[in-house]
């Protein structure tokens, strides 16, 4: 395990600190880059302070380096100075949205409790291929880019079958009814949701439209353990490791979880909506 950092760890030279940690560990850059789910060139740019690391970058590199608790504390304090970042969706589209999907996959691989609140659409980890295409295809991507993004998102779903990890999804009933794909495809998507809800490591709750709303479902967000939150707003994605901010989203998740229905009640609600879509196909 790597010992204390000798270099300063303020926001201007965190890259240098990460490089010193790697050199002290004796690990090759390509090995750390692979474990951190990034290219060796990206790691090199971060270490040489050509590229400012994101919160997710720092998280993955520290995990790959297996740093000591003392070092983690030092770098966490440094990272918190720039802990909240907003990246416009247009930036991801310009640099390659499929690469961002792989970045998220890297963070998910280091997470043991993943919580999602989604008032807008079926969570990405639970989407059918047709639903994925409909969601991602709304942004004017080329066919080639869309295929890469779809592949990256569907690969992320493999983590659901890791029984060592726990997933808790809270969605609003309106999400079940948004017609993002034709009725038969919506029925298939809801069947997938029901099937996933039967897995022992996945807990899916639906907030019924008749429930007294405990808060406003203002935006979708994901909580990675209790160390990172990613929030989606119309023009950007926000990431934060600031505990005071994360606690806001934990509290929001908890209040909606308390009014959601689960297990057989959840499956009955979803099946009722699914049957409505199926009846449209039969009478259409």
Which residues in 229-258 are b (16+ Cβ under 10 Å) and which e? bbbeeeeebbbbbeeeebeebeebbeebbe
Q: Which residue has the tokens 């918190």?
A: 80
What pLDDT, on a 0 to 100 scale, did the predictor assign at position 111?
Answer: 95
Residue 197 tokens, joined: 């809800």
Residue 5 forms part of a structural domain: no
Q: Which residue has the tokens 């990256």?
A: 152
Say whether both 50 and 100 belong to one domain: no
Share of the chain above pLDDT 70, in %: 91
Residue 247 forms part of a structural domain: yes
Say whether both 166 and 219 belong to one domain: yes
Say whether both 165 and 68 belong to one domain: no
Distance CA 72, CA 4 (A): 9
Residue 105 forms part of a structural domain: yes
What pLDDT, on a 0 to 100 scale, did the predictor assign at position 12?
Answer: 46
Distance CA 141, CA 149 (A): 10
CB 169 within 8 A of CB 205: yes
Say whether both 265 and 210 belong to one domain: yes
Residue range 102-116: mean pLDDT, rounded: 93
Say whether both 104 and 217 belong to one domain: yes
Residue 231 forms part of a structural domain: yes
Say whether both 148 and 29 belong to one domain: no
Distance CA 19, CA 9 (A): 11
Asked if pLDDT for residue 242 goes beyond 90, the answer is: no
Query: Which ranges of 158-234 would DSSP assign to H, the alpha helix?
Result: 173-177, 183-197
Distance CA 265, CA 207 (A): 11
| Chain segment 43-64, per-residue pLDDT in tens | 999 899 887 777 678 878 888 9
Domain boundary among 52, 80, 108: 80
Domain boundary among 31, 51, 80: 80
Query: Which ranges of 81-225 would DSSP assign to H, the alpha helix?
Result: 89-95, 97-109, 129-136, 143-156, 173-177, 183-197
Say whether both 73 and 92 belong to one domain: no
CB 260 within 8 A of CB 169: no
- CA proximity to 39, closest of 66, 15, 11, 60: 60
Asked if pLDDT for residue 159 goes beyond 90, the answer is: yes
| Total of domains in the chain | 2
At 2, is the pLDDT very low, low, confident or very high (cuts 50, 70, 90)? Answer: low
Task: Classify 180 as helix, strand or coil.
Answer: coil
Interstrand relation of 228-233 and 236-240 (parallel, antiparallel or unpaired):
antiparallel
Domain boundary among 80, 102, 123: 80
Q: Which residue has the tokens 């969570």?
A: 123
Asked if pLDDT for residue 106 goes beyond 60, the answer is: yes
CB 176 within 8 A of CB 273: yes
Task: Please give the angle made by the CA atoms of 131, 272 and 120, to the nearest 5 degrees.
Answer: 40
| Chain segment 189-222, per-residue pLDDT in tens | 999 999 999 999 999 999 999 999 999 999 999 9
Among 82-96, 135-149, 157-171, which is the least confidently predicted range? 82-96
Residue range 157-174: mean pLDDT, rounded: 97
What pLDDT, on a 0 to 100 scale, did the predictor assign at position 282?
Answer: 64
Question: In degrees rounded to 5, what are phi and psi of residue 58?
Answer: -60, -40
Task: Classify 272 as helix, strand or coil.
Answer: helix
Say whether both 26 and 127 belong to one domain: no
Beta-carbon-side half-sphere exposure of residue 91 (alpha carbons within 13 Å) = 9
Asked if pLDDT for residue 92 goes beyond 70, the answer is: yes
Distance CA 192, CA 128 (A): 7
Say whether both 192 and 55 belong to one domain: no
What pLDDT, on a 0 to 100 scale, did the predictor assign at position 276?
Answer: 96
Say whether both 246 and 141 belong to one domain: yes
Domain of 269 in residue numbering reads as 85-283
Residue 70 forms part of a structural domain: yes
At 80, is the pLDDT very low, low, confident or very high (cuts 50, 70, 90)? Answer: low
Residue 37 forms part of a structural domain: yes
Residue 6 forms part of a structural domain: no
Say whether both 147 and 162 belong to one domain: yes
Which residues in 93-112 are b (16+ Cβ under 10 Å) and which e? eeeebbebbbbbbbbbbbbe
CATH code of the domain containing 275 = 3.30.870
What pLDDT, on a 0 to 100 scale, did the predictor assign at position 8?
Answer: 44
CATH code of the domain containing 42 = 1.10.260.40
At 10, is the pLDDT very low, low, confident or very high (cuts 50, 70, 90)? Answer: very low
Residue range 232-259: mean pLDDT, rounded: 92
Residue 263 tokens, joined: 């297990």
Say whether both 159 and 264 belong to one domain: yes
């Amino acid at each position: 395990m790597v010992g204390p950092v000798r270099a300063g760890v303020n926001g201007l030279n965190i890259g240098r600190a990460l490089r010193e940690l790697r050199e002290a560990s004796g690990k090759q850059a390509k090995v750390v880059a692979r474990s951190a789910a990034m290219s060796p060139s990206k790691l090199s740019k971060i270490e040489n302070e050509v590229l400012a690391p994101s919160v997710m970058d720092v998280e993955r590199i520290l995990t790959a380096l297996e740093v000591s608790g003392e070092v983690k504390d030092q770098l966490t304090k440094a990272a918190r100075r720039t802990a909240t970042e907003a990246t416009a969706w247009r930036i991801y589209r310009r640099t390659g949205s499929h690469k961002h999907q792989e970045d998220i996959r890297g963070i998910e691989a280091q997470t043991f409790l993943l919580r999602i609140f989604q008032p807008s659409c079926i969570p990405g980890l639970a989407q059918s291929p047709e639903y994925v295409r409909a969601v991602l295809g709304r942004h004017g991507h080329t066919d080639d880019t869309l295929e890469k993004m779809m592949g990256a998102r569907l690969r992320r779903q493999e983590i659901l079958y890791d029984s060592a990890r726990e997933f808790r999804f809270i969605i609003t009933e309106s999400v079940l009814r948004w017609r993002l794909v034709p009725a038969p495809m919506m029925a298939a998507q809801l069947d997938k949701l029901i099937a996933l809800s039967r897995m022992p490591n996945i807990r899916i709750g639906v907030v019924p439209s008749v429930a007294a709303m405990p808060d406003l479902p203002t935006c979708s967000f994901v909580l990675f353990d209790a160390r990172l939150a990613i929030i989606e707003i119309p023009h950007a994605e926000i990431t934060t490791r600031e505990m005071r901010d994360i606690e806001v989203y934990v509290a929001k998740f908890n209040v909606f979880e308390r009014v959601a229905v689960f297990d057989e009640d959840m499956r009955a609600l979803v099946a009722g909506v699914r049957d409505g879509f199926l009846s449209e196909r039969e009478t259409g």
